[in-house]
Amino acid sequence: MVKKVKINPNGGRIKIAISYKGLIVASYVYQLWEAESNDVITTKKGNNQNTDDDAYFLPMPVSYNIGRIIDVRSRFVGLDPDVAKKYEVKIEVFQGDKFIDEAVDAGELGTDSNLSQIFIFLESNQ
């Protein structure tokens, strides 16, 4: 899935939060790609099986994030796919303390490992 999100280049710091719904075990790789480049600025890994926060701040100044791409790849399996057949992967985008947008990939669980990839293209709202 691909989503364009508009941010204020002069506003507060950008944060993303990764979350999952459904009876699943999930892991992810988050990468922040440089604008118009194959360079990766940040790579983080995590899973939904611990109490660690799955939220990340983007680099400052905010204006440098215009044109960058947030890329979150998830792999997950259903714990009981005969009973709980749905999943949801959500990336929420915040600027300062304010929620500004989200990208959601949702669907039916397969019988084996499932994959999701969400791209968020950051654009200026000005």
User: pLDDT of 44-58, one tens digit each?
Assistant: 999 999 989 999 999
Question: pLDDT tens digit string along 91-102?
Answer: 999 999 999 999
Q: Report d(CA 99, CA 109) in Å as an integer.
A: 28
- Calpha distance 70→18 (Å, rounded): 11
Question: What integer is the mean pLDDT of 14-27?
Answer: 96
Residue 112 is predicted with a pLDDT of 85
pLDDT in tens, 59-74: 999 999 999 999 999 9
Model confidence at 82: pLDDT above 90: no
Which residue in 51, 89, 52, 60 sits closest to 72, CA to CA? 89
CATH of the domain at 57: 2.60.60
Torsion from C-alpha of 69, 100, 115, 78, nearest 10 degrees: 160
Domain count, the chain: 1
pLDDT at 111: 78
Q: Average pLDDT of the chain? A: 95
For the chain, count helices (H), then strands (E).
0, 9
Contacts of 45 (CB under 8 A, 6+ apart): 27, 28, 29, 30
Q: Would you state the pLDDT for residue 110? A: 81
Would you say residue 81 has pLDDT above 80?
no
User: Domain containing 120: what range?
Assistant: 2-124
Smallest Cα–Cα separation from 91: which of 46, 39, 25?
46
Per-position b or e across 24-40, b if 16+ CB within 10 A of its CB: bebebebebbeeeeeee
pLDDT for the residue 80? 86
